[in-house]
Amino acid sequence: MSRITADDVRKVAKLARLDLPEEKITTFTGQLESILDYVSQLEAVDTTDVPATTRAVEVVNVTREDGVTPTQVREEILNQAPQREQDFYRVPKILADQ
């Protein structure tokens, strides 16, 4: 006996706001039934000793320690600014006074 009926497909289509042609109802009924059969197969797999994961392949971020290193080009970079004010770039004002 089929778990999915044509009425179920119509109801899901309506909830999803899909304009499903009547001639496609039978096709989608079979496809949804196949999907549920596959899910049933997956539910039968014993996963009691399998840890929960968020990915199939674990991703590890490669990081390094942050460290301050002196640079000899600081003045050279600051001198390239159109306007400079001591150790800072001078930029145009973009916010109005309140």
Residue at 13 is within a domain: yes
pLDDT over 80 (residue 97): no
Whether the pTM exceeds 0.95: the reply is no
pLDDT in tens, 21-31: 999 999 999 99
Per-residue exposure over 18-45, b if at least 16 CB sit within 10 Å of its own CB, e if not: eeeeeeebeebbeebbeeeeeeeeeeee
Residue at 15 is within a domain: yes
Residue at 29 is within a domain: yes
Q: Total structural domains in the chain?
A: 1
pLDDT in tens, 17-72: 999 999 999 999 999 999 999 999 999 999 899 888 888 888 888 898 888 888 88
pLDDT on residue 26: 92
Q: Which of 2, 68, 80 is nearest to 37 (CA)?
A: 2
